[in-house]
Amino acid sequence: MIYIFTALYCEAKPVIQYFDLKRLPDINGFRFFSDGAVNLLITGTGALNAAIGVTALCSVHSPNPGDILVNIGICGTGNPDLKTGSLILCNKIVDLGAYKAYYPDMLFKHSFIEGTVLTSPVPVTGRTEGYNGDSGVTVTDMEASGVFHAGAVFFKTHQMFFFKIVSDHQSGEELSSGKVSELTEANTAPVFGWITPIHGELQGIQNVFSDDEKLLLKQLSEMLKLTVTMQHQLNQVMRYHKTRYGGFADKLREFIADELKQPCKTKNEGKKYFEELRKRFV
């Protein structure tokens, strides 16, 4: 399942048309669209509304480890090099209200511009007090931190993707809903043409392993103190092994009993064992 969250209907409209989603009964007052494989919920503006919306949908339709969360919407920027319509894949989210930073995992190859999104409790204009903690590509919105904060309860960081489309250069101008839909429509196919195969890959990882193998992989990840990135690499190694040689549960138990024996004390120690495992199973 792909879970999509937008703040506004005009942001959602091109996505609804792209997937041919149908309007279903509201969820706790939030407008909801779905085709059974893609869920889209319109949260309204602001980080709090975004967090409540994410929680509402995911509490009713519980995600699984192969599912994906996508937050897509417009943003502002003070960077004159970013043209209107530029698409940013956010590798860092800064909550300006709470002064907290969040980091979605960038595991998958892409050709998008990466940058930081600053989530502000109020619309940012040229007169708004700035945040100077980041250099490089920086944009502003009002929802991303709320989506991430609530999403992290249901998804791991490599399952969440934040796309922001530059709509203004913080001049304070009001945008028509038609203009917002136009900007989103131009980026809908690039975003979801990239997202859909990733979703298929994550679903494939879940489907290829038996329940016993999933349990062993979880146990091994905890014992090796693997990061999310390394957990993804572990899944890739074992999926390759199973595709080529068949089930691996007994062999993995032998590795744990003979080589590992007890949980690693540090991540560096875990990396050493992970390299040994890679040599044995690839």
Domain borders along the chain are 2-206, 209-281
Q: Note the pLDDT of residue 104.
A: 93
Confidence of residue 145 (pLDDT cuts 50, 70, 90): very high
Whether 94 contacts 164, CB under 8 Å: no
The CATH fold assigned to 2-206 is Rossmann fold (3.40.50)
Q: State the pLDDT at residue 239.
A: 81
Q: Which tops the pLDDT comparison, 117 or 244?
A: 117
How confident is residue 129, by pLDDT bands cut at 50, 70 and 90? Answer: very low
CA pair distance 225, 172, nearest whole angstrom? 47
Q: Is the pLDDT of residue 124 over 90?
A: no
Amino acid identity at 212: D
Structure tokens at 233: 């690499």
- Taking residues 202-228, what's their average pLDDT? 86
Q: What is the pLDDT of residues 135-144, one digit of tens each?
A: 579 999 999 9
Model confidence at 166: pLDDT above 70: yes
Q: Which residues lie closer than 8 Å to 222 by C-beta, 6 or more apart? A: 263
What's residue 126's pLDDT? 56
pLDDT of residue 196: 92
Q: In this model, does residue 246 exceed pLDDT 60?
A: yes
Tell me: pLDDT of 1 over 80.
yes
231 pLDDT more than 90: no
pTM across the whole model: 0.76
Q: Is pLDDT of 161 > 80?
A: yes
How confident is the model at residue 127, as a pLDDT? 47
Residue 125 has pLDDT above 80, yes or no: no
Mean pLDDT, range 196-203, rounded to an integer: 86
* Interatomic CA distance for residues 153 and 155, integer angstroms: 6
How long a stretch of residues is the chain?
Answer: 282
